Structure 1
């Protein structure tokens, strides 16, 4: 026992002494200890002990006397003496000196594993969640989980983008459908349905093409597909899915008056069935400007042949007569044989197309009018092409079938002479073919040619006589027949109320023409066709 107070230096001191057993590191002596120890009843003490004086190996040989009774215990030898002691194995707790004294510790209940804990005898297993890796207590995402996360996020983004695209597409589709409906109304779709209904015909009797079909047929209206172009618009060559070649007429712009003409042409052509009329296959009303789809006529217009020297040489007299007869037959059919009589109102060489065998096909019925059976004439706004217009129609506004007859007469003159209906850069007395055509001169030249071709030489004129006759015809104004033609011109001027030269009208010389309405003259450019309508 250690003495904390040395009494050798005190004399005559009779105080009390304290004695106790305690762990040295658990008690620190101070002046207050004397006072405080009065109230202390317990102090920590370490007692080092052991069982017997044998080692663990020696004790284990005698199982009956061996103190470590629990199967989950172990023997160990103290460091400071002989003998042995017992303790529970790691993972067990309790009294190792009893048979069932050491019981398993449930580490999972102690919260040692924050994830997947599985208790075992004397131990436990700690696992990371699926997709993670580590010792169970410290887990981090595994590569497969990262890949799954990336894949999941990517899929979510793709789904969001897909949903956004579908919503955008649906919005565009609805907007496009609204736009098509707007164009359908603007381009006279309702008017077409009303007129078809008024005539007792189903709307399905006129084929309605979609804009997609016609864009595909013309390679999105590519310039390489253009076969004709003019002031009113453009004609494209197109290829339909059934490999049939068509001509698609696309206007540049359409005002309300032109919409009515467009619908009128659809109505007229949809009820005309004649081999010499350009067949209307259908129309498209869902584009910004309406489109007409015709059969494709490959050889261009009559005008492009008559007024082109290289092409005119292929128009023999027989072919010219054939073209004239076929065109006349169409007009006769329209006037007399159609279910409802039709006045074309714009007969001209530009509106007569030719196929590869020079078969005539009358086209462009935009200005045409249906004539009720109980009417012989109609009061209309004057419309047509300058040079072909009936002067009586221009004066009275009364449209009759004879107005087509006059226009066809001008076409016949073009076939005979090769001259245009109007040429503005000619002298005043040569501008209008219809006014200054000297029929008598042509007859006289034909008679002179017949005389030259007499079989008997003595019946033929001499070249002096031939020369004198032709020279006289050249100065036709001095002959009586010339005066007759001048009177005819004056009569026309009186009907028209304008001079025969049409001064003040400006037209470029590209095979174009001028339309007339009431008292005013409106210039426009017609389409010089090299293909079809």
Structure 2
């Protein structure tokens, strides 16, 4: 029984008792009831018992008859009912108001308990890493992203010194930031003030404030200072896949099994966007430079400035990176989730061959990776010869053929011939050792190569 019911019970008992008392009182003789004396004839006067004699002695020759006025009694009962009903109504109104008051207070208490970790607008939990910061450094929060003070970011990046630069992108520079003794972050500074840059900034902030997945980079917060805008991400110690494959190390830190793990991680991230988000999300700019690697080489999708929902895919202009754009999108502007599958196929070829999507030939002409590789991907005798020398002869040939077949399907010119990313994922998981998140059981230890986190 709840609180209002417990309070209502005694009030009902009091009201019922009051009503009963009024009715019982009305049943007793009342002075207002008139008394009529009626004369009796002599035959009626003869006493037939002692009781009659006593009555005659009290009133000789007269008999006392009491007539009750039922109209007056009904009025009093009606008044009692009205009073009792009024009391009950007042009590009920009071209890309802009291119950509403208690409900509101309980909701406020529950909200206040979770206010440290929950956003007031979206109800999404604030990233726990932000909780490690001094609360005075965080001005507020939007979605699950904190709003950082500019002074904090300036101090954390040593006044945005060039020695803190991690890399440069199309829209700005990324800096290494030490937000606290134990928390490193990456700060992307957007210098462009044009409408496209502002739109991409807001788009990325919007998507990453909503999307939370193990294979999507975590947005810690943002800052707007004058014309400059800043996005603060979790630190990805091993940089981008592009840097690992095409940088100074030329893929030496990425053995075969680790490359397959990265491919599975990327496929899982895309599957989340395509199948789990409502409405589905098309990344629209998947490429090796937008795949980031943490200290354990877990791959995460980043750069959602061009991402669109499936509902609005027909109202966007053609954007992206040459070499990763699907033919139907590049030529006709038709954008679907299969456009991301095409880009994933290009990334898979990069992992397989260690080559860039577009390379310059000796005659200074650009050559597409797809054009160069396609004839050899389908020829099993030639396929081992085009594999990245770093991983050549380190994998089971059956696995190599299977990965090549998946890549060929992903880069089909006709979108309907390309598989869903879910099917791609299920094809690659058996090629990744259990220790790295797949289902392959290997007898030999899985080699893992790590880099210094300061790189």
Asked whether the equivalents of residues 142 and 209 of structure 2 are also in contact (C-alpha less than 8 Å), the reply is no
| Partner SS, residue 319 of structure 2 | coil
1:329 is aligned to 268
Post-superposition offset of 1:386: 0.5
Asked whether the equivalents of residues 223 and 231 of structure 2 are also in contact (C-alpha less than 8 Å), the reply is yes
> Could you say if the C-alpha distance between residues 346 and 406 of structure 1 is closer, same or farther in structure 2, counting changes exceeding 3 Å?
same
| TM-score relative to the length of structure 2 | 0.52
Post-superposition offset of 1:412: 0.7
Asked whether the equivalents of residues 211 and 286 of structure 1 are also in contact (C-alpha less than 8 Å), the reply is yes
Post-superposition offset of 1:233: 1.6
Matched, 1:228 2:167: yes
CA distance in 2, matches of 1:447, 1:206: 46
Matched, 1:393 2:329: yes
1:252 is aligned to 191
Asked whether the equivalents of residues 300 and 531 of structure 1 are also in contact (C-alpha less than 8 Å), the reply is no
Deviates more, 1:276-285 or 1:234-243: 234-243
1:505 is aligned to none
| Partner SS, residue 228 of structure 2 | coil
> Could you say if the C-alpha distance between residues 282 and 442 of structure 1 is closer, same or farther in structure 2, counting changes exceeding 3 Å?
farther
Post-superposition offset of 1:335: 0.6
Q: Of 287, 297, 320, which residue of structure 1 is paired with 2:226?
A: 287
2:380 is aligned to 443
| Partner SS, residue 312 of structure 1 | coil
CA distance in 2, matches of 1:262, 1:308: 27
Asked whether the equivalents of residues 379 and 397 of structure 1 are also in contact (C-alpha less than 8 Å), the reply is no
Post-superposition offset of 1:297: 0.3
Post-superposition offset of 1:435: 2.4
| Partner SS, residue 219 of structure 1 | coil
Asked whether the equivalents of residues 380 and 398 of structure 1 are also in contact (C-alpha less than 8 Å), the reply is no
Asked whether the equivalents of residues 218 and 239 of structure 1 are also in contact (C-alpha less than 8 Å), the reply is yes
**RMSD of the alignment, in Å?**
3.3
1:345 is aligned to 284
Asked whether the equivalents of residues 355 and 369 of structure 2 are also in contact (C-alpha less than 8 Å), the reply is yes
Post-superposition offset of 1:332: 0.7
Matched, 1:273 2:183: no
1:303 is aligned to 242
Asked whether the equivalents of residues 379 and 399 of structure 1 are also in contact (C-alpha less than 8 Å), the reply is no
Asked whether the equivalents of residues 379 and 398 of structure 1 are also in contact (C-alpha less than 8 Å), the reply is no
1:370 is aligned to 309
Matched, 1:434 2:373: no
Q: Of 289, 292, 316, which residue of structure 2 is paired with 1:380?
A: 316
> Could you say if the C-alpha distance between residues 430 and 214 of structure 1 is closer, same or farther in structure 2, counting changes exceeding 3 Å?
closer
> Could you say if the C-alpha distance between residues 312 and 240 of structure 1 is closer, same or farther in structure 2, counting changes exceeding 3 Å?
same
CA distance in 1, matches of 2:365, 2:162: 41
Post-superposition offset of 1:198: 10
Deviation per residue, 1:270-316 (Å, 9 max, x gap): 11111111100111012321100000101111111112463412211
Asked whether the equivalents of residues 430 and 436 of structure 1 are also in contact (C-alpha less than 8 Å), the reply is no
CA distance in 1, matches of 2:380, 2:363: 24
2:98 is aligned to none
Post-superposition offset of 1:395: 1.9
| Partner SS, residue 222 of structure 2 | strand
| TM-score relative to the length of structure 1 | 0.45
Post-superposition offset of 1:253: 1.8
> Could you say if the C-alpha distance between residues 204 and 407 of structure 1 is closer, same or farther in structure 2, counting changes exceeding 3 Å?
closer
CA distance in 1, matches of 2:364, 2:372: 10
CA distance in 2, matches of 1:296, 1:313: 22
Post-superposition offset of 1:356: 2.1
Task: Count residues with an aligned counterpart.
Answer: 260
Post-superposition offset of 1:264: 0.4
1:261 is aligned to 200
| Partner SS, residue 444 of structure 1 | coil
CA distance in 1, matches of 2:298, 2:344: 17
CA distance in 1, matches of 2:315, 2:376: 33
2:360 is aligned to 424
Asked whether the equivalents of residues 301 and 531 of structure 1 are also in contact (C-alpha less than 8 Å), the reply is no
Post-superposition offset of 1:317: 1.0
| Partner SS, residue 387 of structure 1 | coil
More helix by share: 2
**Where in structure 2 are there 5+ consecutive unaligned residues?**
1-118, 125-140, 387-392, 394-407, 415-451
Q: Give matches, 1:1-16, under 5 Å.
A: none
| Partner SS, residue 352 of structure 2 | helix
Post-superposition offset of 1:370: 2.1
Deviation per residue, 1:18-50 (Å, 9 max, x gap): xxxxxxxxxxxxxxxxxxxxxxxxxxxxxxxxx
CA distance in 1, matches of 2:199, 2:121: 15
Asked whether the equivalents of residues 376 and 382 of structure 2 are also in contact (C-alpha less than 8 Å), the reply is no
2:182 is aligned to 243
